Amino acid sequence: QLQLAESGGGVVQAGGSLRLSCAASGPAFKNFVMGWFRQAPGKAREFVARINWNYVDIYSIAVEGRFSISRDNAKNTVDLQMLTLKPEDTAVYYCAASRRVDYLKEEWAYDYWGQGTQVTVSS
């Protein structure tokens, strides 16, 4: 069982930056692929980024070049650095953990989820 808790959300102006953090408690954090998803009002939850055991990262087209995911296996944390934020980045951001090696842009591939943290980008 892995428990995840996000922090770092808030309100920022367009063009600004935020850093989200996800703290994991439980065994074998380093064995999980860690992902970030987001859900905007009235929309389905969507993939943002993920990082695997070997620190290989993948991003959605919407955030590539602006967001950066990183992990610290010694501290059991995974962060999402968000730069040049846009109003369309407004959403609840969720941290998730998966034991899978494939389909890692899909919600159903993830076994554990945090409660989410709100990010609001004003224009």
Q: What is the pLDDT along the chain (123 residues), one digit of tens a residue?
A: 899 999 999 999 999 999 999 999 988 999 999 999 999 999 999 999 999 988 889 999 999 999 999 999 999 999 999 999 999 999 999 999 999 988 889 999 999 999 999 999 999
Q: Do 22 and 77 contact (CB within 8 A), yes or no? A: yes
CA neighbor of 104 nearest in space, from 39, 47, 61:
47
Residue 123, classified by CB atoms within 10 Å of its CB into exposed (0-12), middle (13-18) or buried (19+), is exposed
List all residues 6 or more positions away from 45 whose beta carbon is below 8 Å from its beta carbon: 37, 38, 39, 94, 107
